[in-house]
Structure 1
């Protein structure tokens, strides 16, 4: 028979410091526990109320990676479908939790589950009976404000990456496969890696940022980069995308490669310039600002 486990449940979008504290506490709650994280994909709101679904902070693969780094031994992903949304709290416990043989389940104090969020921590404890202990944890705060994925999303959309790091202890990361762009950056002397904006994911406000680029295949260290988010209005662009110029590199072959673009600080908003010369001058200034900002970061 498989050993008993400690189970944590949540969306864990971004795996911020509140999530990490929950994992730490759960890991320490039982002697030699096997810690299992139960999470959901897609986000439940995208199924039950698509018009209110939040933009996600990270992909499922990145979420799994962050949970494992946080001390989880196994990540169980519930494929959240309309059928799952219709389960009663008892059905959720029977179908998802009991097979994991939990000795203890640790959740946030505001945890809700089951059809129309009918169940809470008291419901879970009643359904567990003598089979498992339910332990609710209060929200982690920075002294005044609880850490939450919602607050981090707002900070990302505002381009406030200092605030993102305060709330999450992480650098915000945007991932995607590099596609061939219009080659205009190369013509201007600043070749960029272009990643289209995918619906459903959080993207910073249009503007220019300092940050880094890294290949997700782990073949290279991260490179410092000047990052642009927007539609390239100087040349009449309409497609929103994220473009990253790796400082002092024009030899990178990244087409078809999955990369992470990491945002550290906002430089300025998006501006439409009068011609190439003005744009090149601004880009040169941006690159020097990025170099200064990232020095020692």
Structure 2
């Protein structure tokens, strides 16, 4: 899979290099969840039938982050993870369009004539709720009209599961109430956080539970504060463990910025500076303040035992 970074207006050399007949799925696709996968797979299959490349066009940074509107609190799949997931869906090209204040004012017509036509896109595949252009003025029907016979448009209906449509909003809500099982069903996989191991307070060592303190790679959606049974992916190997997401209220009175600390079972190697991907498998309990450190230690041991049990059982 090839990734192409674009900015508007498209430079002439970009147009010369990348113009070709192709089918493109267009959207933000944050989460690359089951609904997104249905749109993207439709584009991939349509492209195969036409014997031309398949593409996904997405936007970075997230428009809500740039416009400072709505309830944007981070991405379910920051750009690197999104690219990896798209590659797994068989996409040939990913177009990452720079979203900035200037691009937010591009009209639907300018988007079609200045981005889609120059790239040679002959078919666009979009979700049922697709919006584009300044203030979201454009929808699928407008895209079809602006295509003026040069651009076929295929609209994919909602992907429904458990009596409702799969959406990034529903996944965020599930994560923020600790419902990892529902979030995983909507995503089609367990939710992951990624980061680099950095120095922390080293308090875990003193109480018998050394932890790897993660600095997250990007602005992820943060699940509810609490304790999780996890699988950590490190240097091609998988390690079971337990993770705390939170502010450690037993030790800190006014901390508001959460930390991400992973205790890997039966693991004693220094991994500062190494990159870790953490799959959140089960939510164990909410974070809370303990009256004393011994009570906290006892609870941590109980959490670790519970995490081992859950991970071994495959539940």
Q: State the TM-score bracket (shorter-chain normalisation).
A: over 0.9
Choose the corresponding residue for 1:245, options 237, 241, 263.
Answer: 263
Choose the corresponding residue for 1:263, options 280, 294, 304.
Answer: 280
Q: Is 1:191 paired with 2:213?
A: no
**More moved, 202-211 vs 24-33:** 24-33
CA contact (8 A) 1:197 1:241 kept: no
Q: Is 1:16 paired with 2:33?
A: yes
Choose the corresponding residue for 1:222, options 215, 227, 238.
Answer: 238
Aligned residue for 1:245, secondary structure, equals strand
Alpha-carbon spacing, 1:67–1:93, altered in 2? closer, same or farther (3 Å): same
Q: Distance in 2 between matches of 1:234 and 1:197?
A: 23
Moved over 6 A (4+): none
Q: Is 1:157 paired with 2:176?
A: yes
After superposition, what is the alpha-carbon deviation per residue over 1:153-204, rounded to whole angstroms, capped at 9, x for unaligned?
A: 1111111110011111111011122210110111111111112468842111
Alpha-carbon spacing, 1:227–1:143, altered in 2? closer, same or farther (3 Å): closer
Report deviation, 1:49.
Answer: 3.5
Aligned positions, number: 293
After superposition, what is the alpha-carbon deviation per residue over 1:226-260, rounded to whole angstroms, capped at 9, x for unaligned?
A: 01011111112624111110011122x22122211
Q: Is 1:100 paired with 2:119?
A: yes
Q: Distance in 1 between matches of 2:239 and 2:219?
A: 27
The residue number in structure 1 matching 2:6 is none
Aligned residue for 1:29, secondary structure, equals helix
Q: Distance in 1 between matches of 2:224 and 2:72?
A: 19
CA contact (8 A) 1:46 1:52 kept: no
CA contact (8 A) 1:38 1:75 kept: yes
Q: Distance in 2 between matches of 1:259 and 1:204?
A: 18
CA contact (8 A) 2:20 2:119 kept: no
Alpha-carbon spacing, 1:120–1:54, altered in 2? closer, same or farther (3 Å): farther
Q: What TM-score does the superposition give when structure 1 sets the normalisation length?
A: 0.93
The residue number in structure 1 matching 2:158 is 139
Q: Distance in 2 between matches of 1:106 and 1:258?
A: 35
Q: Aligned runs of 1:1-297 on 2, under 5 Å?
A: 3-30=20-47, 31=49, 32-50=51-69, 52-196=71-215, 200-215=219-234, 219-236=235-252, 238=255, 239-251=257-269, 253-297=270-314
Please report the RMSD computed on the Cα atoms of aligned residues, expressed in angstroms.
Answer: 1.8
After superposition, what is the alpha-carbon deviation per residue over 1:50-70, rounded to whole angstroms, capped at 9, x for unaligned?
A: 453343112110011111111
Q: Distance in 1 between matches of 2:180 and 2:198?
A: 26
